[in-house]
Amino acid sequence: MRIGIIGAGQLGQMLALAGYPLGLDFEFVDASTDTPAGRVAPVLTGDINDPALLRRLARRSDVVSFDWENVAVSALARATRGRHVFPPLRALAAAQDRLAEKRTFERLGIATTRFAAIETRTQLERATARVGLPGVLKTRRLGYDGKGQYLLRSAHDIDGAWATLGGTALLYEEFVPFDYEVSIIGARARDGTVAIYPLNRNYHSGGILRLTLAPWPQPRVARAAAASLRRLLQALHYVGVLTLELFVHRGRLLANEMAPRVHNSGHWTIEGAVTSQFENHLRAICGLPLGATTARGHAAMINLIGSLPPAATLLAEPGLHWHDYGKQPRPGRKLGHCTLIESSAQRRTARARKLLTKLCPQLSLRP
């Protein structure tokens, strides 16, 4: 079976690496000629919204999927008519637009941040009064890793926020002084079977994920997050892996956003779960049975951002798994990650913090 994937980043690379043992073949499309997935599979290079290029990929593939959710839904729908595209395009459309995403959460009774859609400066002024301050102004589309966001602490920040982001479709939402952030990842198969991974606790810095600890031992939070994810998977007639990111605030869960794909906070599943998120995504979209999502131990995943430490520094750590995506170093760029698995949550957390301090001494994460 041949899988066509739009976007040839590290998620695509890890999908291909998980798929080869299943006997799958891969082909990607990407704008760049130098991509992580290009190191392991052929890439058709060109504009990923070009209908002719998407049609070429679709014709050569049994199933089409994506590792990047910002492909134009209309172009993809036309190029893949009558073919298998998973996750479904309605889920892709809902996840691409922060307003559609919030409305999906509301419709399904999934608690989320208070928000308002913004197109004019007057609407922003009204929203700061109605939704409240502090708040975060976000572009509705194309934001990732904290990009396209402006924090408004007081009404004095309206000018700066509007000068920075005004002119595009925006969403204003309350700033949540959360206790911590979590994500929950699950897969739904073509026959409707659902498998959900243990809860991830995520630590961000500058809007970018730095550290994930999983399973995070908060059974009540894990159950509530899994129930919301299950509702989304079913309502969207989802096929593939879906990720839901949430804030935990005074014991209450608030959905922040969803990603219709495998997710950075699930990288630990490669070595830390019976079946990785990448393999389960492929199993789901190919119509195969899902694998067990049980953790094999207590995992920590550290993102390697901007520059990579010497291989010897990491590989000298007993039991550490290193992933180098083969990307050119650039500030703020995710170049790789490493995962360690320990026999208890306490040992895992202590070791992860020590390693993080060694790798990024200037970084300070909340306790």
Stretch that binds ligand AMP, among 65-73, 77-85, 172-180, 224-232 (CB under 6 A): 172-180
Closest distance of CB 127 from ligand AMP, Å: 13
Task: Rule CB under 6 A: say whether 204 interacts with ligand AMP.
Answer: yes
Stretch that binds ligand AMP, among 101-109, 173-181, 267-275, 355-363 (CB under 6 A): 173-181
Choice between 146 and 287, CB closer to ligand AMP: 146
Choice between 136 and 270, CB closer to ligand AMP: 136
Closest distance of CB 31 from ligand AMP, Å: 22
Task: Rule CB under 6 A: say whether 67 interacts with ligand AMP.
Answer: no
Assess contact for 148 and 165: CB atoms under 8 A: yes
- The amino acid sitting at 62 is D
Torsion (CA) 215, 275, 319, 358 in degrees, nearest 10: -50
**57 vs 65: CA distance, rounded Å:** 10
Assess contact for 118 and 127: CB atoms under 8 A: yes
Choice between 77 and 131, CB closer to ligand AMP: 131
Q: Which of 61, 212, 243, 256 is in the footprint of ligand AMP by CB under 6 A? A: 256
Token match 């897969």: residue?
187
Stretch that binds ligand AMP, among 67-75, 171-179, 228-236, 307-315 (CB under 6 A): 171-179
Closest distance of CB 238 from ligand AMP, Å: 20
Q: Which of 4, 9, 12, 143 is in the footprint of ligand AMP by CB under 6 A? A: 143
**356 vs 60: CA distance, rounded Å:** 43
Q: In terms of C-beta distances under 8 Å and separation of at least 24 residues, what long-range contacts does 304-309 make, across chains too? A: 304/334, 304/335, 304/336, 304/337, 304/338, 304/359, 305/208, 305/210, 305/332, 305/333, 305/334, 305/335, 306/330, 306/331, 306/332, 306/333, 306/335, 307/335, 308/335, 308/336, 309/359
The residue whose Cβ lies closest to ligand AMP is: 176
Query: What number of other Cβ atoms are within 10 A of residue 331's Cβ?
Result: 7
Q: Which of 46, 146, 217, 306 is in the footprint of ligand AMP by CB under 6 A? A: 146
One character per residue 86-125, x = contact with ligand AMP (rule: CB under 6 A): ---------------------------x------------
Task: Rule CB under 6 A: say whether 176 interacts with ligand AMP.
Answer: yes
What SS3 state is found at 310?
Answer: coil
**253 vs 99: CA distance, rounded Å:** 19
* Nearest residue to 127 (alpha-carbon basis) of 146, 114, 113, 143: 114
Task: Rule CB under 6 A: say whether 136 interacts with ligand AMP.
Answer: yes
Task: Rule CB under 6 A: say whether 157 interacts with ligand AMP.
Answer: no
CA distances from 205 to 202, 297, 360 (A): 10, 26, 12
Task: Rule CB under 6 A: say whether 128 interacts with ligand AMP.
Answer: no
Stretch that binds ligand AMP, among 104-112, 168-176, 189-197, 225-233 (CB under 6 A): 168-176
Closest distance of CB 104 from ligand AMP, Å: 15
Assess contact for 128 and 152: CB atoms under 8 A: yes
Closest distance of CB 180 from ligand AMP, Å: 10
Q: What is the DSSP string of 315-356?
A: HTSTT-EEEE--PPP-TT-EEEEEEEEESSHHHHHHHHHHHH
**273 vs 256: CA distance, rounded Å:** 25
Task: Rule CB under 6 A: say whether 260 interacts with ligand AMP.
Answer: no
Closest distance of CB 257 from ligand AMP, Å: 5
Tokens of 19: 């798929």
Helices and strands, number each (H, E), in the chain: 12, 18
Scan residues 207-236 and list those touching ligand AMP (CB under 6 A). Answer: 207
Q: Which of 39, 68, 114, 175 is in the footprint of ligand AMP by CB under 6 A? A: 175
Site residues, ligand AMP (CB under 6 A): 113, 136, 143, 146, 173, 175-176, 181, 204, 207, 245, 256-257
